[in-house]
Structure 1
Amino acid sequence: MNDLVIGGMPQERKTLNLGDYAEEAVLITEEEPAKQKRPLFIEANTVDVTMEHLKNDCIIPVFAKDNEATLSHPAFIETVQDAASTFFQGEKIGLPDIRVSHVIKGRIPEAIHKPANQLLESDKTIYYERCAFVIEIPTVYETVNGNRLTLTVGGVRAYNHTNLYSKKGMERFKVFVGFICKVCTNLCVSTDGYLSNLEVTNTKDLYRDVLEMLHAYNPAKHIHLMQSLGDTFMNEHQFATLLGKMRLYQCLPQGYQKRLPRMLLTDTQVNAVAKAYISDNNFGGLGSELSMWKFYNLLTGSNKSSYIDSFLDRAYNATELATGINAALHGEERYRWFID
């Protein structure tokens, strides 16, 4: 198989060429077994909500100076879902898994003078400052180093990244396409499958930009990259050195830190990596060599404790760290500081 075509677009586009990756990364398309209860894709302080709740029970914030409505969370989710359905035409598109945080509470004008303990549910208004969602495409998957990965699209919206005190302007979103590890729901995000600062004013532009991201993404190349991580191992001494350097990184002088590759994980998350190395049944490595694939999943697993607004940036940074340190173990210099 020399070419991989997934879905279709209402305009001309090139097929995704497997090229050198064809032998090792062949995506399989077929029906998936019935869905079972699984771990959360993000934890932190988030709660699970439905699309119906967002549409029926939540208000839509406006820009203060002209009272123009923002793009709502449901509009964002449905636009990404529509773009995925168009691009991956013929594939099964799952329902969105939605997590929200930072609830903003209010009340209707008629209840403005009521004591809080006398408020009825009909008197209250809410919306969520931050929203994250993933949509699986379960008929497109591959097995990497013994773990089943399913193609996934999703995004993040955080109103704290948009100036709501001005007139209506650009609104900021983050969207991605990548793979999710079924055993743990860790997200795998790569360079060509992530838009970290997508700014639009309407759903038409959002739809177009998501389609362009899907078109630019090469799933076979991403699969090959993750497969290659399983071919490199570090011993316990190297892993301990790496953990120590990751802890040290946060305390470095700013000028020194800027000369190194970025590392976005917090000290708490680095501690979670150390704990999972000992106790994680799927990706732990105590007493044996640790593959870079397992190390990558220790990073993405610790990222589940991130707040929504930093979640995707750290997911992408986990890929940067894993591939960079993998290269350093083969003699490259850029990430060498972390293991020397």
Structure 2
Amino acid sequence: MQTALSTLQLQPVSRFNTFPSRLNDSFRPPIEVEAVEVIEDIVTPQFSKRLPFIEANTKEVTINHLKDECVVPVFSKDNEITISHPAFIEAVWSAASKVFPRESIEKPSIRVSHVIKGRTPEAIHKNVKDLLDEDKTIYWERMMFCFEIPSICEDIRGNRLNLTIGGVRAYNHMNLYSKKSPEKFKIFIGFKNMVCCNLCVSTDGYQSELKVMDVRSLFNSAVALFQDYNMAKHLYEMGGLQESYMTEHQFAQFLGKSRLYGFLPKSEQKKLPQMLMTDTQIGMIARAYYNDESFSVPQGSKEINMWNVYNLLTGANKSSYIDNFLDRSLNATQLAEGLNKALYEDSEYSWFIK
């Protein structure tokens, strides 16, 4: 099967294999790419159940829940409706179908958090104890989704990586009390490590603050991001991590310096690369160094593979809230690549391990 990337000149680590999709018949590319595809819920086979790609305080929902059981917020000054969560998901899914028309695309996995409760106008004067289900309204302040394209994959150190696309919507990053203005979204294309469901995001595969007024602009921006993403380069850089090792002393230095980072004088902090992990997440990385089932240091060894270090970082990031998740995911990639360079030469990341 020829993939949409057959014209790329891939480095040795980058081999694209084809696998049959479990949900191959459930989603079909739009017949007309100018129309946004409508995604319907389908029953997922039990054997396809996987670990969540994000944990924190999130809840898994279906797209039908978002369509049928949630209201859509408006800009209060002019009562203009916002782009709904389902419309966002369907626009990105349609963009992926346009860019990868020959690939099998699985259904979206959707996580939400921070429910906003309300009530219908007819129930305004009811006591809380008297409210019926039909009197209540909800919408989710924060939503993240991703879907896999399993026919485009790679293997790094025995870990299968599936091409993955997704996005984040966080109403708390917008002013809904104003007139209608450009709405903010985050979209990405990268890989999901199927061993742990950690997401791997690179700089050119992530748009951190996409501002659009309508679904058409959202669709076009997603298409542009997917077309500009250098998949071969991303895979090559991740594959290169397996050739490097960090000593126990260097890893301990990294953890200690990471804790110090947040307390540095601002003038000193500005001279260093950004480090977005929280103290709690640094503690999780330390614990996983010895206890993670897939990426801990080998028993009796005094060094750890940089591919494993990267996965310890992305694993800790799964505890982030939805609105911070993708920024920290990209930061984990930058940290791993920067630390890898610092092992061999003077680099801006040397402070973390010396």
TM-score of the aligned structures, taking structure 1 as reference length = 0.94
Out of 278, 290, 295, the residue aligned to residue 283 of structure 1 is: 295
Amino acid of the structure 2 residue aligned with 1:6: A
Helix, strand or coil for the counterpart of 1:48? strand
Alignment of 1:38-77 (within 5 A): 38-77=50-89
Q: CA deviation at 1:28?
A: 1.4
CA contact (8 A) 2:109 2:146 kept: yes
Helix, strand or coil for the counterpart of 1:128? strand
Amino acid of the structure 2 residue aligned with 1:222: H
Helix, strand or coil for the counterpart of 1:197? strand
Name the counterpart of 1:92: 104
CA contact (8 A) 2:143 2:169 kept: yes
Q: CA deviation at 1:149?
A: 0.2
Out of 311, 322, 325, the residue aligned to residue 308 of structure 1 is: 322
Q: CA deviation at 1:31?
A: 1.7
Matched, 1:17 2:8: yes
CA contact (8 A) 2:3 2:103 kept: no
Amino acid of the structure 1 residue aligned with 2:66: L
Helix, strand or coil for the counterpart of 1:83? helix
Out of 138, 156, 174, the residue aligned to residue 186 of structure 2 is: 174
Matched, 1:6 2:4: yes
Helix, strand or coil for the counterpart of 1:305? coil
- Equivalent residues, number: 328
Matched, 1:27 2:41: no
Q: CA deviation at 1:29?
A: 2.2
Quote the Cα distance in structure 2 between the aligned partners of 1:255 and 1:156: 32
Name the counterpart of 2:28: none
Alignment of 1:158-169 (within 5 A): 158-169=170-181
Amino acid of the structure 1 residue aligned with 2:165: V
Quote the Cα distance in structure 1 between the aligned partners of 2:200 and 2:245: 19
CA 1:235 to 1:228, structure 2 compared with 1: closer, same or farther past 3 Å?
same
Q: CA deviation at 1:139?
A: 1.0
Helix, strand or coil for the counterpart of 1:17? coil
Name the counterpart of 1:222: 234
Quote the Cα distance in structure 2 between the aligned partners of 1:264 and 1:111: 44
CA contact (8 A) 2:338 2:347 kept: no
Helix, strand or coil for the counterpart of 1:212? helix
Amino acid of the structure 1 residue aligned with 2:4: I
Name the counterpart of 1:296: 310
Amino acid of the structure 2 residue aligned with 1:23: P
Query: What is the Cα-based RMSD across aligned positions, in Å?
Result: 1.4
Q: CA deviation at 1:32?
A: 4.9
Name the counterpart of 2:39: none
Q: Deviations over 1:232-279 (max 9, x none)?
A: 001111111111001111111111111100000000000000011110
Name the counterpart of 1:331: 345
Quote the Cα distance in structure 2 between the aligned partners of 1:38 and 1:278: 24
Q: Deviations over 1:99-151 (max 9, x none)?
A: 00000000011111111111110000000000000010111111011100000
Provide the identity percentage: 55
CA contact (8 A) 1:16 1:218 kept: no
**Segment of structure 1 superposing worse, 175-184 or 328-337:** 328-337
Helix, strand or coil for the counterpart of 2:243? coil
Question: Any gaps of 5 or more consecutive residues in structure 1?
Answer: 8-14
Name the counterpart of 1:11: none
Amino acid of the structure 1 residue aligned with 2:99: F
